[in-house]
């Protein structure tokens, strides 16, 4: 006899607590293999395919494409351990009670379960581990799965009063807590519509809307007479685009940066003619091509060695500046899904060739939406080449919780005084936005001036080799 097991959205790591269903890869009635990707989801950091640790027949799916689910919410149910005959699937439909004890049926389930779900890195785990994980993981549920609805059920109304939560408030997402806190909403008075009363973002937004909704005047006309006056007001409100996924993550991070970091910006024009000539000479010598971004990264690394204050973060709880031992260099990359900041780990130990290759790998992965959470976290300093957009200058917003960001504008021919004479040179504007808590203008100016000197005279770097 087949058993129905419920597969829940696994812990995605890196502080991610929710994901949006982008595309289902299987349908009800499909046969899935162990560790086969079943759904494509978008988190605040990346788009990934989630593999199912069970092998069997899909009996139900939960959530339509575009639905945002919290970690731990049901994704689908799979009938495992049976022959797949229609009558057996009917017995194993959601709601049928599987056995609880360790039986022969359980052994069959064990053979149809990989026991490990790690998004973005595959799911295969050591055989000795699989058995133990099966009993520990919340993804394996030996209780009856809920019956799938033919249409999405309307969420329970978010009560602003009278819900009476006792004990811990059922909230997973820190964004939901922050939204409620910023709007003065007591989560104990909100009724959750998620699994086991979990409070979702939609519940909080509904509760806030009910609090802010003006009291309607007594009706003096039938509803049919009032309706025509309501439609134009709604239509005139404009298009509403949800802030979620990558766009929502960018909004949250940049808002936090502006709120918490007292930043300042300084900038300088530099003659990049010699740097461009040096790159051309390196590439003419044969071997792997060196990118301009890689040379700028090398300059940043050497500048941070001289001014380590800018490779740091601030711990306000401890009232300490934490200077970081390694440079993990983030760089801004524009993709069809929005702005992302992949991170080149240990940039200070890499050659120009290694940096070029890693920049190319991460950029391609960003375009293909194949970046993992590990590729997008851990940065200590960011290099932002906005010159690719055809602009000269900008005042970058620091990538929280870092302490600084170097911005590079386009390199274009401009009149420039060179060796006492007016000449046409390749000029670039460099800008540094820095956290004024970690250093003062003297340090920031020294860093930026050193970067400009290296751009104007790449031979300056030879003294640090």
Catalytic residues, by residue number, are 436
Q: Nearest-CA neighbor of 427 among 463, 459, 465, 387?
A: 387
The closest of 362, 369, 396 to 245, measured between CA atoms, is: 369
Cis ω before 363 (30° cut-off from 0):
no
Which residues have C-beta within 8 Å of that of residue 261, sequence separation ≥ 6? 314, 398, 400, 435, 437
CA distance 143 to 259: 46
Q: How many CB atoms lie within 10 A of CB 247?
A: 15
Q: Which residue has tokens 């960011």?
A: 382
The radius of gyration of the chain from alpha carbons, rounded to an integer in Å, stands at: 28
Distances (CA, A) of 412 to 33, 276, 277, 390, 409: 55, 11, 14, 10, 9
As a whole number of angstroms, the distance between CA 123 and CA 19 comes to 18
How many Cα atoms within 13 Å fall on the side-chain side of residue 281?
7
* Cβ 395 vs Cβ 433: under 8 Å: yes
Residue that the structure tokens 């711990």 belong to: 315
């Amino acid at each position: 006899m087949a058993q129905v097991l419920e597969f829940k959205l696994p812990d995605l790591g890196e502080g991610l607590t929710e994901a949006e269903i982008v595309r289902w890869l299987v349908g009800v009635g499909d046969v899935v293999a162990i560790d086969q990707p079943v759904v494509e989801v978008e988190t605040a950091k990346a788009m990934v395919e989630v593999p199912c640790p069970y092998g069997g027949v899909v009996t139900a799916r939960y959530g339509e494409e575009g639905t945002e689910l919290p970690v731990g919410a049901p994704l689908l149910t799979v009938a495992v351990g049976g022959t797949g005959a229609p009558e057996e699937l009917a017995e194993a439909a959601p709601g049928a009670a599987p056995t609880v004890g360790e039986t022969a049926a359980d052994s069959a389930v064990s053979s149809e379960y990989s026991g490990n779900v790690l998004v973005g890195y595959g799911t295969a785990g050591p055989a000795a581990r699989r058995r133990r994980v099966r009993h520990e993981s919340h993804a394996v549920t030996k209780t009856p799965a809920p019956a799938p609805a033919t249409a999405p059920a309307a969420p329970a109304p978010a009560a602003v009063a009278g819900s009476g939560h006792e004990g811990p408030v059922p909230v997973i997402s820190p964004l939901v807590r922050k939204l409620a806190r910023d709007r003065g909403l007591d989560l104990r008075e909100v009724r959750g519509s998620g699994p086991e009363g979990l409070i979702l973002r939609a519940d909080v937004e509904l509760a806030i809307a009910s609090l802010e909704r003006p009291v309607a005047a007594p009706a003096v006309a039938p509803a049919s007479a009032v309706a025509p006056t309501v439609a134009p007001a709604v239509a005139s409100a404009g298009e509403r685009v949800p802030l979620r996924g990558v766009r929502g993550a960018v909004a949250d991070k940049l808002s936090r940066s502006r709120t918490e970091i007292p930043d300042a910006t300084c900038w300088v024009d530099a003659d990049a003619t010699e740097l461009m000539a040096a790159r051309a000479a390196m590439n003419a010598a044969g071997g792997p091509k060196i990118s301009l971004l890689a040379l700028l990264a090398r300059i940043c690394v050497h500048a941070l060695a001289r001014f380590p204050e800018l490779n740091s973060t601030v711990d306000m709880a401890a009232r300490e500046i934490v200077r970081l031992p390694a440079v993990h260099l983030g760089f801004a990359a524009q993709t069809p899904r929005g702005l992302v900041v992949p991170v080149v780990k240990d940039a200070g130990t890499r050659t120009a060739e290694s940096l070029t290759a890693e920049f190319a790998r991460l950029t391609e992965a960003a375009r293909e939406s194949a970046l993992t959470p590990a590729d997008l976290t851990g940065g200590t300093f960011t290099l932002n080449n906005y010159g690719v957009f055809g602009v000269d200058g900008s005042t970058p917003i620091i990538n929280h919780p870092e302490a600084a960001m170097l911005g590079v504008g386009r390199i274009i021919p401009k009149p420039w005084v060179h060796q006492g004479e007016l000449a046409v040179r390749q000029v670039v504007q460099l800008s540094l936005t820095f956290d004024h808590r970690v250093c003062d203008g003297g340090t920031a100016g020294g860093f930026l001036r050193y970067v400009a000197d290296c751009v104007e005279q790449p031979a300056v770097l030879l003294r640090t080799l």
